[in-house]
Amino acid sequence: MASFITSGLLVVIGLYGVFFVDNVLKKIIALEILGSGVNLALIAIGYNGGTIPIKLPNVPLNVFAKESAYPLTHALVLTNIVIEASMLAVMLGVSIILYKKYKTLKGSVILKED
Amino acid sequence: MNFLPMIIVFPLIMAIIMNLLHGKEKAVKYLTFATAIVLIALPFIGEYGYYYFSGHGVVDGWISGIAYLYNPAKQAVIITLSLIASLVLITGMGEKLKNNMFVTLSLMGFASISAIVLADDIFNLYVFFEIISIVQAGLVFLSGTEEAYKAGLRYMIIGSVAAALMLLGITFLLASTGTLNISDMKHHLLTDNPMVYGGLLLLIVGLAYGSGLPPFHNIKADLYARSKGFISAMLQTYSKFVLVGLMLIILKLFNGLSYFSSAHAVLIALGVLAMVFGVVMALLQSDYKKLLAYHAISQGGYVATGLALGTPLGIVAGIFHAINHVIYKSALFLGAYIVSCKRGSNLHKLGGLLPLMPYVAFMVLCAKLAISGVPPFNGFQSKWMLAEAAMQVNMPEIAIIMIIVSIGTFVSMMKAFYLIYLKPVDEETLKEYQGKEVPKLAVFSLFVLTALCIIIGLDPSLITNYLWDYAREIGVNYCLK
């Protein structure tokens, strides 16, 4: 239960940061927090008191399925971390380009629509 | 042996190879042409049916790998996608931009969209959903202007939020059903459960972001308007097919369940709002590409409404309209690209282009009539089907809104046509026009697309025959009192 509450808090903090903090760098950090909240929720639903879901070669498949935590969620979280990291890298790169142009990181300047 | 995964794997491999060929312009050019030819053949090599990687239902049905479902309806979508992709790649060959990056990103986009359309497991869908948002931002960055960077960054920040929320929705669905395979998940959704509502709602957030329905219509339209004309053609193709892919999955999972009716209403409302907002914003624009961008949003609303109706006829009409829209809107964006080679895309600075390019003007006029739903072009056929589908479920008000929006579309399209091709200009401007060349490859692509507009308009069964089987499978007939 504690992990669900934590993940809920992380998601709310992340959403607050993205929409109400006027700094692009802080927005991106908030996105990372939001992502971590979702990852934690994913891990938590897969946990059933079992062992770490790493299948060793000498363990048969049905024994592995009984003893370990649900492996699907772990695979999902790993994939999600990779995707998230690449998204953040691209966003940080673009914010550097825009910072060089405007000399500020304020969202109200950099992200302004015209 | 089933070669279905080649639809996704081949473009990804080619994208990596193109990326390695940095700076070798000639090699990139030839390879791009070869790839564009192969892309057209790709939809025909797969066999229909389910395709599982790394097994399915390994232990008590709990562990299952990536799954794809291929059927005639999805084949029709992928044929259109590959056609547009290869035409855009061929058009891009004549353009001196950072060439291999454009090809790389377009191919990655092609792979992701085909994966989203084919996907029969939700996580695979999510992965490619994230990739497509990076690809779209990257394609916009290619135009290199400061506005493009701003639009791209905005899109990515909102995109990360929407994608994280969509993943949370997938988490809810996984928690309440225990599987990610869509065909299996359907059996676990029969009883209603608050967690499933949350999952459905968050999936709809992802759908609205991926396809530019409200409240995300502004950032999406900005994205189309800031990139080069032929790249916008690619971008709007991507978002229409994301809409079709995700909507088909939502319908497959929930259509016909008793608790789906309220979500149903939300989806229809989103579609109608997109239609109206798009066309109203388009009427206000003075920039040609922005005008087209808002029309893309508005037509996306048509597609969403048709699919959201959930009847077999509505689903067929929705997919058919998506295919038609992608064809004529790509033609219009290519027309905008040809015009912008002469003199930008500000409507008030253009004019008098008709004597210089009469054939292009004629083809663009055909596409404009198609988007406004004038017979005998393809837009008429699908809009007619959409209105019919709305009448069939006893919602005539939606049909009326569709017709009014069509009239708005016609007005703004004809305004743009006058301002670009017919408005008289002075001698100096004419001289300036004559100094600049028309990109020939773009004219070729425009010709192919216009021909398709007319052919499909004369015989809509060419496409609809592909769609009926799947629509009957996931559609539910009903009628409001």
ipTM: 0.94
Cα–Cα distances in Å, from A60 out to A34, B9, B363?
37, 31, 64
Q: Which of B95-104, B285-294, B389-398, B449-458 has the lowest mean pLDDT?
A: B95-104
Q: Residue A50 and residue B182: Cα distance in Å, rounded?
A: 26
Kindly tell me if the per-residue pLDDT of B58 is higher than 70.
Answer: no
Query: Which of B158, B167, B180, B218 best tests the A interface by mutation, with the highest count of A CBs <10 A?
Result: B167
Which residues of chain A does B58 touch, with a Cβ-Cβ cutoff of 8 Å?
61, 65
Mean pLDDT to the nearest integer, B227-240? 90
Of B122-126, B164-168, B277-281, least confident by mean pLDDT is: B122-126
Cβ B110 vs Cβ B353: under 8 Å: no
Give the residue with greater pLDDT, B43 vs B190: B43
Region of poorest pLDDT, from B9-13, B185-189, B240-244: B185-189
Query: pLDDT class for B167, splitting at 50, 70, 90?
Result: very high
User: Total domain count for chain A?
Assistant: 1
Q: What percent of chain A has pLDDT over 70?
A: 99
- Tell me how far apart the alpha carbons of residues A28 and A47 are, in angstroms, rounded to a whole number: 29
* Contact of A102 with A16, CB cutoff 8 Å: no
Q: Is B291 at the interface with chain A, CB within 8 A?
A: no
The one-letter code for the residue type at A56 is: L
Over chain B, what is the mean pLDDT?
Answer: 89
Residue for token digits 């109203």?
B280
What does the pLDDT read at residue B429?
A: 79
CATH for A11: 1.10.287.3510
Question: Which residue bears the tokens 């395709």?
Answer: B51
The boundaries of the domain holding residue A42 are 2-110
State yes or no: pLDDT of B99 exceeds 70. Answer: no
**Of A98-107, B92-101, B109-118, B157-166, the least confident:** B92-101
* Residue of chain B whose alpha carbon sits nearest to that of A26: B157
Q: Is the pLDDT of residue B49 over 70?
A: yes
A-chain CB neighbours of B129 within 8 Å are: none
The β-bridge partners of B69 are: B50
pLDDT tens digits along B330-378: 999 999 999 888 877 888 888 888 888 889 999 999 999 999 988 889 9
Tokens 């708005």, residue located: B408
Percent helix, strand, coil in chain B, to 5, is: 75, 5, 20
| Average pLDDT value over all residues in chain A | 88
How many Å lie between the alpha carbon of B289 and the closest alpha carbon of chain A? 15
Return the bridge partners of B181, or none: B121
CB distance A65–B149 less than 8 Å?
no
